[in-house]
C-alpha cells in the first residue's frame, strides 16, 4: 500500500501527497475480488444450510441468485425466513457489516397476494410490503421487470416506450440519410431493448407498438413509406439491415432454446436455466418430452394465460417457430413415433373436406397405434381394443380418413409403419432437430447459440419482396459501396423498392388530397414511377440528350431503366467523358430529374429539359474534378 497515494483538489489547488491507508481507489480492479471474498461466506452459509429449503422445481433446488451485490434469496416458508435472518445476524457480527432493510423488497414467486400468511414473519424482518399481482408497477430486478399482471406489463411498456420516444425526438432533429437513420436506430435506439428482451416476454401488441416507434423514426420525410420487411432485410438483399425487434427477441432466447433442442435430456448441472425451462414446458403441457410442444405447433401448447397476456413458454415457442425447418427428410424410429401427438403423425390434404375431431388434439400416437417388437414397426390397434373406447368416435374417424386418403401420413411417420431392421430403440428427437439448419448450411446442433446466425437464418428463409428480386446480392453490395450523394442514392433506391411518390400512387392512397392521378407536368393519365422519371416527354428529352452527349448513341431509355432497376450496368459500359463511369452519369441524371420535378411540384419552377441538362453537365464535371483530386491525395 506504500504506492497508494492521493492528492486533494481544493479550489483548483492540489495538496501534497497523502498515503491512502484504507479503502481502494475508484475503479481499482482489486475491489470486486475483495468484495467476493468478503461476501462469499454469507452465500455459502445459506447454500450449505440443510434446514434452508429454498425453491424446488423438478429435481432442481434454488436457494439464492447473486450478481455482484444484488442477492435474491428464495424463501419457502417462515422457517426459511428465520434461518435467513440468523445467517444475516451472524454475518454482520463476524464482518462488522450492517444490513440495510430499507433496500429489501419481498415478492411472491407465484404472483398471488399472500400477505396475510407472510405479514407476521415479514414484519419481524422489518419488511412492510409483499409485492404481488395487486401492485400496479412490476418489481425491477437487475433491470428486468418481474411482470405478474397485465396492468404491470402495461405500465412497464408505457415507461419503456416513453424512454424510446424521448431518444427518438433527440435524434429526429438531425439531418440523417435513410442509411444514417437505420444505423442510429440499430445502435442507439433499439439497443435499449436487447437487455430487457433476453428474459422478458412481450405480447404481439407490445412488439407492434415498438415496431411502430421504429417506423415513425425511419419514415420521417419519406413518403410513400418503405415497407418494414424491406427495412429489415440485410443490405446485400436490398434492405437497410434494420434489426427486426421480434426476430431479435427470439434470437436472444436461442441461448435457452439451443440446449432444449440439441439434447434429448437436459440436466441441472449442464444447463440449469434450460433444465428449469424444460421442466416448466413438460409440466404446463403434460408431455413427457419438452421437444414435443417446441417442434410441433399442432401439439398442445398450453399457457394457462388469457389471450391478452403472454408468459415464459411463449418465448421458446416463438423462437423455434421462426427457425427454418422441414421434417420431410427426417427418419425417426418407432419409439419416437409412439411418443408423438397423434396430430403430428398426419396432415389434411388441401383437397380434403374431412373434419378432424377435436379430441384428436388430446391424443397421442400410442393411444391408437401399437408396436410390433418382432418386425420393428407400429400399426393401428385392433378396432375392438378396449383402450380405444375412451376416445369414442375419434379413432374410427381418423382410421377411415387415413384409409380413404382424406388424411395423409407425414413423410417422417410413414416409414415407421413398415417392418424395418432394428437400429436403436430409444426415444430420440435428434433426426427432427437435424432438419433445423442455419443460413450457412450448418446443423443447429453443430452451431454455437449465436443471435446473429439465428436472425440471418430467419431472414434468409423469408420470401424476398418481388420488387427486389431483380437485383442480385453482388449488385446490392456494389450499390452500397458507391460514393453517392443523399439524393442520388435516395432516388434510385425509391425507384427499385417501388416507393416513388407518383401522382397515380398518391391519388390511390389519398384521393381526397390528390384529386387527380394525371401527370402534373404533361397531364398524361395515371402517372406512374416510370412515367415520372423516364416517360414524361420533358424527362424523355433529358434522357435523349444525355445519351447523345455522354453515352453510346444506340443506348435506349429502356436499357437505362432496366439497368437501374437491376443495378446491372454491364450493358451500358461506354462513356464519352473521360474519368467517369457511365453508371455515375445515369445516377446523376436521375437525381437531377427528381430535383427538377420536386421544384416544379412544390415551388412552381418550370421544368425545362435544357436547364436539367446544364445541371447534369455541371455535376458530371464536378464529379470528375473531385475524383481527380482524390486520386492525388
The pLDDT tens digits of the residues spanning 590-632 come to: 999 999 999 999 999 999 999 999 999 999 999 999 988 888 8
Q: What is the mean pLDDT of residues 247-258?
A: 91
Q: What is the mean pLDDT of residues 127-139?
A: 93
- Cα dihedral 140/143/146/149 (nearest 10): 80
Q: How confident is the model at residue 270 (pLDDT cuts 50, 70, 90)?
A: confident
Residue with cell 415507461: 159
Q: Which of 500, 589, 468, 573 has its CA nearest to residue 540?
A: 589
Secondary structure (DSSP) of 133-156: TT-SSPEEETTEEE--SHHHHHHH
Share of the chain above pLDDT 70, in %: 98
Residue 298: predicted pLDDT: 81
What integer best gives the mean pLDDT of the chain? 90
| Structural Rg of the chain based on CA atoms | 33
Q: Which of 410, 325, 327, 403 has its CA nearest to residue 365?
A: 410
Number of Cβ atoms within 10 Å of the Cβ of 227: 16
User: What does the pLDDT look like over 21-31, one tens digit per residue?
Assistant: 877 777 888 88
* 228, three cell numbers: 418494414
What's the CA gap between 108 and 114, in Å, rounded? 7
Residue 304: predicted pLDDT: 45
What is the Cα 479 distance to its own chain's centre? Answer: 27
Task: State whether residue 354 is helix, strand or coil.
Answer: coil
| 460 has pLDDT over 90 | no
| 8 has pLDDT over 50 | yes
Q: How confident is the model at residue 177 (pLDDT cuts 50, 70, 90)?
A: confident
Alpha-carbon distances of 203 from 208, 212, 274, rounded to whole Å: 9, 14, 22
User: What does the pLDDT look like over 64-88, one tens digit per residue?
Assistant: 998 888 899 999 999 999 999 999 9
Residue with cell 435516395: 490
* 133, three cell numbers: 399481482
- Partners of 553 in the β-ladder: none
Task: State whether residue 572 is helix, strand or coil.
Answer: coil
Contact call for residues 303 and 316 (beta carbons, < 8 A): no
Q: What is the mean pLDDT of residues 175-190?
A: 91
60 versus 74: the higher-pLDDT residue is 74
Q: Which of 482, 464, 439 has its CA nearest to residue 230?
A: 464
Residue 311 buriedness (CB in 10 A; 0-12 / 13-18 / 19+): middle
Contact call for residues 422 and 301 (beta carbons, < 8 A): no
* 37, three cell numbers: 471474498
What's the CA gap between 289 and 283, in Å, rounded? 10
What is the Cα 264 distance to its own chain's centre? Answer: 26
User: What does the pLDDT look like over 537-592, one tens digit per residue?
Assistant: 999 999 999 999 999 999 999 999 999 999 999 999 999 999 999 999 999 999 99
* 95, three cell numbers: 464482518
Residue 425: predicted pLDDT: 81
- Partners of 379 in the β-ladder: 370
| 381 has pLDDT over 90 | yes
* 354, three cell numbers: 374431412
What's the CA gap between 68 and 462, in Å, rounded? 42
* 605, three cell numbers: 419552377
Share of the chain above pLDDT 90, in %: 64
- Print burial letters for 450-479: b (CB count within 10 Å at least 16), e (below 16): ebebbbbbbbeeeebbebbeebeeebbeeb
What's the CA gap between 6 and 25, in Å, rounded? 9
Which H or E run contains 134? none
What's the CA gap between 501 and 486, in Å, rounded? 17
Residue 309: predicted pLDDT: 58
Region of 238 (left: φ > 0; alpha: ψ -120 to 50; beta: rest) is left
1 versus 481: the higher-pLDDT residue is 481
Residue 269: predicted pLDDT: 83
Which H or E run contains 6? strand 5-6
Task: State whether residue 93 is helix, strand or coil.
Answer: helix
What's the CA gap between 157 and 489, in Å, rounded? 36
Q: Which of 535, 508, 510 has its CA nearest to residue 521?
A: 535
Contact call for residues 63 and 70 (beta carbons, < 8 A): no
Q: What is the mean pLDDT of residues 271-275?
A: 86
Q: How confident is the model at residue 502 (pLDDT cuts 50, 70, 90)?
A: very high
What's the CA gap between 226 and 218, in Å, rounded? 9
Amino acid at each position: 500500500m506504500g504506492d497508494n497515494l492521493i492528492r486533494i483538489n481544493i479550489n483548483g489547488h492540489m495538496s501534497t501527497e497523502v498515503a491512502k491507508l484504507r479503502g481502494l481507489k475508484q475503479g481499482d480492479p482489486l475491489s470486486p475480488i475483495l468484495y467476493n471474498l468478503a461476501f462469499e461466506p454469507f452465500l455459502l452459509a445459506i447454500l450449505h444450510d440443510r434446514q434452508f429449503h429454498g425453491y424446488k422445481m423438478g429435481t432442481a433446488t434454488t436457494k439464492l441468485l447473486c450478481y455482484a451485490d444484488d442477492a435474491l434469496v428464495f424463501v419457502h416458508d417462515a422457517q426459511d425466513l428465520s434461518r435467513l435472518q440468523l445467517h444475516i445476524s451472524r454475518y454482520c457480527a463476524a464482518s462488522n457489516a450492517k444490513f440495510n432493510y430499507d433496500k429489501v423488497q419481498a415478492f411472491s414467486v407465484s404472483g398471488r397476494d399472500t400477505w396475510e400468511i407472510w405479514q407476521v414473519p415479514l414484519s419481524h424482518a422489518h419488511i412492510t410490503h409483499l409485492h404481488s399481482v395487486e401492485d400496479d408497477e412490476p418489481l425491477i430486478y437487475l433491470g428486468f421487470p418481474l411482470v405478474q399482471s397485465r396492468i404491470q406489463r402495461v405500465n412497464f411498456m408505457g415507461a419503456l416506450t416513453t424512454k424510446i420516444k424521448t431518444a427518438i425526438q433527440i435524434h429526429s432533429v438531425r439531418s440523417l440519410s435513410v442509411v444514417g437513420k437505420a444505423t442510429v436506430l440499430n445502435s442507439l435506439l433499439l439497443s435499449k431493448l436487447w437487455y430487457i428482451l433476453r428474459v422478458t416476454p412481450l405480447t404481439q401488441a407490445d412488439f407492434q407498438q415498438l415496431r411502430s416507434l421504429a417506423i415513425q423514426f425511419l419514415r420521417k420525410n419519406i413518403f410513400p413509406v418503405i415497407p418494414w420487411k424491406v427495412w429489415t432485410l440485410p443490405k446485400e438483399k436490398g434492405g437497410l439491415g434494420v434489426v427486426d425487434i421480434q426476430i431479435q427477441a427470439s434470437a436472444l432466447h436461442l441461448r435457452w432454446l439451443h440446449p432444449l433442442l440439441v439434447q434429448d435430456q437436459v440436466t441441472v448441472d449442464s444447463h440449469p436455466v434450460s433444465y428449469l425451462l424444460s421442466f416448466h414446458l413438460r409440466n404446463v403441457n403434460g408431455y413427457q418430452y419438452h421437444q414435443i410442444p417446441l417442434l410441433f405447433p399442432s401439439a398442445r401448447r398450453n399457457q394457462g394465460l388469457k389471450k391478452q397476456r403472454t408468459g415464459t413458454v411463449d418465448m421458446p415457442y416463438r423462437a423455434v417457430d421462426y427457425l427454418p425447418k422441414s421434417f420431410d427428410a427426417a427418419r425417426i424410429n418407432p419409439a419416437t413415433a409412439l411418443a408423438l401427438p397423434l396430430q403430428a403423425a398426419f396432415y389434411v390434404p388441401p383437397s380434403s373436406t374431412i373434419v378432424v375431431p377435436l379430441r384428436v388434439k388430446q391424443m397421442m400416437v400410442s393411444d391408437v397405434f401399437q408396436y410390433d417388437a418382432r418386425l420393428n414397426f407400429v400399426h393401428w390397434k385392433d378396432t375392438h381394443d378396449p383402450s380405444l373406447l375412451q376416445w369414442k368416435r375419434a379413432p374410427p374417424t381418423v382410421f377411415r380418413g387415413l384409409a380413404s386418403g382424406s388424411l395423409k401420413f407425414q413423410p417422417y411417420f410413414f416409414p415407421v409403419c413398415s417392418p424395418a431392421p432394428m437400429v436403436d430403440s430409444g426415444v430420440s428427437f435428434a433426426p427432427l432437430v437435424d432438419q433445423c439448419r442455419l443460413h450457412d448450411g450448418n446443423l443447429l446442433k453443430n452451431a454455437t447459440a449465436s443471435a446473429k446466425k439465428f436472425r440471418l437464418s430467419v431472414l434468409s428463409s423469408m420470401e424476398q419482396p418481388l420488387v427486389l428480386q431483380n437485383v442480385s446480392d453482388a449488385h446490392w453490395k456494389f450499390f452500397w459501396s458507391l460514393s453517392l450523394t443523399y439524393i442520388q442514392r435516395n432516388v434510385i433506391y425509391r425507384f427499385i423498392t417501388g416507393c416513388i411518390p407518383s401522382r397515380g400512387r398518391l391519388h390511390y392512397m389519398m384521393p381526397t388530397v390528390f384529386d387527380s392521378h394525371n401527370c402534373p407536368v404533361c397531364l398524361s393519365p395515371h402517372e406512374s414511377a416510370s412515367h415520372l422519371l423516364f416517360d414524361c416527354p420533358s424527362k424523355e428529352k433529358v434522357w435523349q440528350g444525355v445519351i447523345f452527349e455522354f453515352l453510346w448513341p444506340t443506348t435506349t431509355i429502356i436499357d437505362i431503366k432496366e439497368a437501374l432497376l437491376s443495378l446491372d450496368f454491364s450493358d451500358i459500359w461506354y462513356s464519352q467523358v473521360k474519368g467517369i463511369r457511365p453508371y455515375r452519369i445515369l445516377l446523376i441524371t436521375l437525381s437531377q430529374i427528381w430535383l427538377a420535378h420536386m421544384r416544379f411540384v412544390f415551388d412552381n419552377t418550370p421544368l425545362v429539359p435544357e436547364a436539367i441538362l446544364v445541371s447534369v453537365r455541371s455535376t458530371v464535371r464536378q464529379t470528375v474534378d473531385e475524383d481527380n483530386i482524390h486520386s492525388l491525395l
